[in-house]
Amino acid sequence: MLASQIPAPAPDNVAMLRQEADRQTFRKEQFSLTRYYYEGRVTRQRFTTPALDELHATQVYNQYREKYQFMFPEQLVRMRERYGLTAARMALLLDIGPNQYGNYEAGEVPSASNAKILRLASDPVTFLGIVRDKREELRLTEYEKLRRHIDALLDAQTPRRVAGLTVAPTFSVAETDPDQYTGYVVPSPEKFAELVLYFFGHLDNLFKVKLLKLLFYCDFQHYRLFGRAITGQRYRAIQHGPVPQEYGQRLQEMVQQDLLQASFHSSLVQSSDGSPVLVHKATRAARLEVFTDTERQIIQQVFHRLGRKTRVELENLSHTERAWQENNAQHGRISYQTYAFDLQSLPLGQ
């Protein structure tokens, strides 16, 4: 479980919150991480808190799961819910103890053998075979209901021909695995949309360049303090600073869903070449309930500290970040684990 509050520095006359590069061994392998600690001003003694220790472990677990393609807790929960099962029934079908399975969903890293079983279960075809093997341990009505449910999932994954055109599947249990470029979460178009609506609802005359910088700081600050991004967007470094890799597609989807209105204006703001500027306007307020407590804390922190800065000020701030400086020349992708802990424009704590 993640800590529920942003790490706060102790009073300056007692201790300072510091960070350092370190390495930690997990299952006989070493992984790099950024370690936080408090240092007494007078005693110079170092100490941590359970929340900081949890962040250190999360960094290591993230990298281990990525390296060996273990499913993340978020994926396990989503997979089970898509099959319409409780944790207890999922554990029964997979021959994993219910307490043990619950621990996996809560963040414990499974053994290699159990990780393989969990990965296999994410494929509906394989999972249907597992269900059939367990038929004798299930009530007949339960078995038939689950079989029909999986058949429906498989049917939804099958491309269809409609009016001579191939229609893509409407549902898939499989999804892109979280990695260092998604902030170790499954990308969430919903959270992206609600975060965009939040800033449009709280800031006047907000345009694309400034918006994209605010999104970057929200995602990377949350990873810096909690080991997880908010939206899971992949970011690249371009001329005007870090931007979500798929921001154009995401904003267009919001227009199509009537979450944003888009129009061109030539009188309000001029682009560098004098052409009309595309202006977006939110059609409703953001639904903040889609975010966790820590995500809401970070969103509000970014808004209060950076939201009133001009586009130029925010763009210049983003150019001070190592994430941009080391990736701009190649328009490279930005790793959360490599760069989030070096943010210059936001405080380490509250």
pLDDT per residue as tens digits for the range 266-306: 655 555 556 677 889 999 999 999 999 999 999 999 999 99
Using H for helix, E for strand and C for coil, what is the string for the chain? CCCCCCCCCCCCCCEEEEEEEEEEEECCEEEEEEEEEEEECCCCCEECCHHHHHHHHHHHHHHHHHHHCCCCHHHHHHHHHHCCCCHHHHHHHHCCCHHHHHHHHHCCCCCHHHHHHHHHHCCHHHHHHHHHHCHHHCCHHHHHHHHHHHHHHHHHCCCEEECCEEECCCCCCCCCCCCCCCCCCCCCHHHHHHHHHHHHHHCCCCCHHHHHHHHHHHHHHHHHHHCCCCCCCCEEEECCEEEECCHHHHHHHHHHCCCEEEEEECCCCCCCCCCCEEEEEECCCCCHHHCCHHHHHHHHHHHHHHCCCCHHHHHHHHCCCHHHHCCCCCCCECCHHHHHHHCCCCCCCC
Tell me: the pLDDT tens digits for 108-126? Answer: 999 999 999 999 999 999 9
pLDDT over 90, % of the chain? 81
Question: In the predicted model, what is the mean pLDDT of the chain?
Answer: 90
How confident is the model at residue 153, as a pLDDT? 92
Tell me: the pLDDT tens digits for 12-61? Answer: 568 889 999 999 999 999 999 999 999 998 889 999 999 999 999 999 99
pLDDT of residue 172 exceeding 50, the answer is no
How confident is the model at residue 245, as a pLDDT? 94
Tell me: the pLDDT tens digits for 211-255? Answer: 999 999 999 999 999 999 999 999 999 999 999 999 999 999 999
pLDDT of residue 343 exceeding 70, the answer is yes
pTM: 0.88
| 185-204 average pLDDT score | 96
pLDDT of residue 159 exceeding 90, the answer is no
- Domain boundaries along the sequence of the chain: 15-68, 73-167, 189-342
